[in-house]
Structure 1
Amino acid sequence: MATVGFVGAGKIGGRMVERLLAAGHRVRLYARRPEVRDRLAALGAENVERPRDLAGCDVVVSCLYSDEQVLDVLPGLVADLGPATVLVSHTTGRVETLSRLAERCPAGDAAFVDAAFSGTAADVAAGRLTVFLGGRAEHVATAAGVVGAYADPVVTTGALGSALRVKLLNNLIFAAITQVTLRGLEAGRAMGIEESAVLEALSVGSGGSAAARHIAAHGGSGPYIDAVRPFLRKDLAACRDFAAALGIDLSALLAAACDGPLGLGDAGLLEKGAVR
């Protein structure tokens, strides 16, 4: 089994570490919070003091929240990476972040795989997280052998950066569908129908969706909006930058994603696919 380095053992990343250990991988972990270090060490993880201490692992998995965290935590590690080490990044962010990070690779030929995912901590715990993998075929094959401990399905999307593009489009479409679903729940309340009844109907009806299932799982519109808003705002900002960099007009999709109860942005400020 591969020796796996891990950075970013938060709510979702921590579950990934648990699954990797259960699958028999040796896991070396960089975590800042003592309670995380202690909990995962009790399960068999080996704690290290610095991210760059993971450079000799077969695979390094990063599950950091944002581009800012990636550029803060990983440069020292990347500078020390061996030529055989594959870095797998689960962060949903800007495509160019991995390119900036690759500039720190001493070999000048970074073995990077972008591994954006769709799902929750519960999906990780059940081994059914959806993971998209982008990169060179040999690097993707190595990554798939590791993330398979917590992911099914694993979808290969193409070259490095393609998984992030697929995930951003997925989240953009998801946000738009969520806005429509929330508006539907508002309409139901106006008709005197309990939100729970509408969600139950959507769970078996043709108007149902992953958005409706997630709203129900969070206990209704209010808790769901509070939980998902910061993540979708981050992803829409990345979509904005992606569209601007490539000159792609995503204005119709962004308008649909921004207009509604989620409060993700002002559709009136959209210009050539960008949320200003």
Structure 2
Amino acid sequence: MPTVGFLGAGQIGEPMVERLLAAGHRVRLYVRRAEVRERLPTAQIVAEPADVAASDVVVSCLHDDAQMLDVLPGVVAAMGARTVLVSHTTGRPDTLDRLSAYAPEGHAAIVDAAFSGTADAVRAGRLTVYLGGDPEHVATARQVVAAYADTVLTTGRRGSALRVKLLNNLLFAAIAQLTLGGVEAGKALGIEESALLEALAVSSGGSTAGRYITARGGAEPFVASVTPYLRKDLEACEEVAARAGLDLSTLLAAARGGPIRLGRPSPSETELLHEDHH
């Protein structure tokens, strides 16, 4: 089995490491928080991020582009010619190109591996992962992500998986806004939130967004949990579309118009999410 270096053992990353260890992979783990190290005693803890580069595959589950550009250049520079970097971060495809330039030969083996699902899906081994990159690198990445994903889709060249994920999250945000608007309308009509969500779950107006709202315990905790992530993803999607000369104004208006306030993330929210992904 490939040895795996891992960065970003946060809410999603930690159960990924658990699944990798359970599948029999040797895992070199860089993590700052002592409590995470204690929960993963069979992982080989390393002192610096670049130390994970001495692996067959390096898996990165960092929060955003800024964190990737802060942490990963030294990792890419230390990677061997046959080491593959698998990036789970939802961000801008050109960030991967910028990272590749840090490789000794000027071209690193990088696979973008954006995913759809929750920490519970990781623990159950039922995550959905999209893989974009050279076929041989994608094949290597598939061996590793199979430890926690049961649906692995190849999307094309490097960067294509991120574009798929950004469009997915754009549509998810729009559908979530509409569903939350329906929940508010239901309350005004005297319908309990839980009753409406239960009905939608088995009716034509239901959606994955509706199921997520129910799983989170209702509209309020759902909004609190998804807002900072959707903010950064919509910002990235808007930028990628602008560079491609693509007009997404209608979809972006639907995604930003509703109970979820999807402006730019505040500095405090960004810092909290960065800490969680270490």
Q: CA RMSD in A?
A: 1.0
Name the counterpart of 2:273. none
Name the counterpart of 2:36. 36
Name the counterpart of 1:204. 202
Name the counterpart of 1:252. 250
Name the counterpart of 1:223. 221
Q: Does 1:127 align with 2:125?
A: yes
Counting only pairs closer than 5 Å after superposition, residues 43-62 of structure 1 correspond to structure 2 as: 44-62=42-60
Look up the equivalent residue of 2:220 and give its one-letter code. G
Look up the equivalent residue of 2:176 and give its one-letter code. T
- Give the C-alpha shift of residue 136 in structure 1: 0.3
* Displacement over 6 Å in runs of 4+: none
**Deviations 1:167-203, CA, capped at 9 Å, x for gaps:** 0000000000001100111111111000000000011
Report the Cα distance in structure 1 between the residues aligned to 2:44 and 2:19, rounded to whole angstroms: 15
Looking at both structures, which has the greater relative contact order when contacts are Cα pairs under 8 Å and sequence separation is at least 6?
2
Q: SS of 1:187's equivalent?
A: helix
- Give the C-alpha shift of residue 109 in structure 1: 2.3
Q: SS of 2:76's equivalent?
A: helix
Report the Cα distance in structure 1 between the residues aligned to 2:107 and 2:177, rounded to whole angstroms: 42
Name the counterpart of 2:112. 114
Counting only pairs closer than 5 Å after superposition, residues 37-116 of structure 1 correspond to structure 2 as: 37-40=37-40, 42=41, 44-116=42-114
Name the counterpart of 1:6. 6
**Deviations 1:64-85, CA, capped at 9 Å, x for gaps:** 0111111111111111110000
Look up the equivalent residue of 2:95 and give its one-letter code. T
- Give the C-alpha shift of residue 108 in structure 1: 1.8
Unmatched tracts of structure 2, length 5 or more: 265-278
Look up the equivalent residue of 2:189 and give its one-letter code. M
**Deviations 1:88-141, CA, capped at 9 Å, x for gaps:** 000001111111111101122210000000110000000000100000000000
Contact 1:259 1:265 in 2 (8 A): no
Report the Cα distance in structure 2 between the residues aligned to 1:231 and 1:11, rounded to whole angstroms: 13
Contact 1:116 1:163 in 2 (8 A): yes
Q: Which moved more, 1:99-108 or 1:194-203?
A: 99-108
Counting only pairs closer than 5 Å after superposition, residues 174-193 of structure 1 correspond to structure 2 as: 174-193=172-191
Look up the equivalent residue of 1:3 and give its one-letter code. T
**Deviations 1:10-51, CA, capped at 9 Å, x for gaps:** 0110000000000000001011112112221x2x10000111
Look up the equivalent residue of 2:10 and give its one-letter code. G
- Give the C-alpha shift of residue 265 in structure 1: 3.7
Q: What TM-score do the two structures reach when normalised by structure 1?
A: 0.94
Report the Cα distance in structure 1 between the residues aligned to 2:239 and 2:167, rounded to whole angstroms: 13
Contact 1:66 1:93 in 2 (8 A): yes
Q: SS of 1:226's equivalent?
A: helix
Report the Cα distance in structure 1 between the residues aligned to 2:31 and 2:163, rounded to whole angstroms: 28
Query: What is the percent sequence identity of the aligned residues?
Result: 67
Q: Which moved more, 1:239-248 or 1:170-179?
A: 239-248
Report the Cα distance in structure 2 between the residues aligned to 1:77 and 1:181, rounded to whole angstroms: 42
Look up the equivalent residue of 2:20 and give its one-letter code. L
Q: Does 1:152 align with 2:150?
A: yes
Name the counterpart of 2:134. 136
Partner of residue 233 from structure 1, selected from 217, 221, 231: 231
Look up the equivalent residue of 1:152 and give its one-letter code. D
Pairs aligned (count): 264
Q: Does 1:213 align with 2:211?
A: yes
Contact 1:116 1:133 in 2 (8 A): yes
Name the counterpart of 2:16. 16
Q: What TM-score do the two structures reach when normalised by structure 2?
A: 0.93
Q: SS of 2:12's equivalent?
A: helix
